A and B are shown apart, each in its own frame.
Chain A
Amino acid sequence: MSEIREDLSAAHARAWLRLAAPGAWLTGAEKVAIAAEARAALDCLACAQRKAALSPEQPIPAHASPSGLDTAWVDLIHRIRTDADRLTPAWFASVVPSILSVERYVETVGVIAEATAVDSFMTAMGMPLWPLPAPLAGELTGVRPEAAKLAGAWVPTVAPEDVSSAGPELVQAMYRNRSAANIHRALSLVPEAVNGFFDLDDAMYLPDAFLRKFEEEPRAITHAQIELLATRVSALNRCLY
């Protein structure tokens, strides 16, 4: 049996609690359904066919879909999970806002990302996937940062310098102890998504404070080994960022 760091297991448990709970624009049931679709996409024959096709726009059969989500939403989730490197601004314009509002789209991306991180870890370790949680009922928070604007990304984002100290704590927490790197801004239209994903990131990769602290090695592999893996995984996924 593998011995997982306690802080890492705790971060995964928090991710699963977040997954079950209602978010800003998605219910708990919708979030759990998105995670189920992200998981199913890996063994979906339609996704495999699209991935192998010269163009991702080539028609494919219906997806293997375990949820009751709308088929267009299912396609969006499967595509982000299995063929993200071929997403384009034109594709984005074809799905937002006609399939999802931009807020629901960003939160969907956050859910896919957290589910991908936890599932990929368990698979890498040769351990069974966590059972998906039972969704929790409750009100959506509906927090949309006032300072969100289009600034180079496809989705509106919040610049760290635009976060007001008078704003909601959820918004202020996004950049606390974090750099202004664009990856931190990517999901900032939905503060819960930023705070959730980087809670996981701190435990799985490195907290920001350690990124350039090369004299300290907080993990069992070195900074150089961590960056070797991060770079290679990004390249295998054909991701420039």
Chain B
Amino acid sequence: MLLRGSGQHAGQTYDDRFAIDAETDSGVSHARLLLDFAEACVARSVELSGRREALRKTLGEAALVDAAATIAIFQAVVKVADATGIPLEDAKAEISAEFRAELGLNAFVAE
């Protein structure tokens, strides 16, 4: 939802299907480079080193640090959410209903 807000501010429409389909062109600048890095981090893949260097070479050291920090804190945020069973806020649930249904995200709910 914040991505959509960011897109509205920039006068762009980002395609959020990238969340479940890595091949989707989101329209976000350097998305492929960032997503490749994120996927290698989450999977602790042998490709992590190469993807880190690719990101560093293209976007620079400071961008690499901020990308790594974002990925790392969300690796933790999901554990807080999953281990405490917090629900999605009513307002967010309403706004995101179509988006969640379209992407099949409701399958992620613990029952």
Contacts and interface: CB of A to CB of B under 8 A. Distances in A.
B81 A241 contact: yes
Contacts of B74: 205, 229-230, 233-234, 237
Interface string B60-84: 1111111111111111111111111
Interface residues of B, number: 69
B69 A8 contact: yes
* Majority secondary structure, A binding face: helix
A135 B5 CA distance: 44
Given A124-B71, A186-B81, A3 B65 contact: yes
A241 B29 contact: no
B7 A224 contact: yes
A36 interface: no
A236 B18 CA distance: 11
A114 B76 contact: yes
A88 B35 contact: no
Contacts of B19: 231-232, 234-235
Given A120-B72, A222-B6, A227-B6, A186 B42 contact: no
Contacts of A88: 110-111
Given A3-B61, A3-B62, A125-B65, 8 more contacts: A80-B82, A84-B82, A87-B85, A110-B80, A117-B75, A215-B9, A239-B77, A241-B82
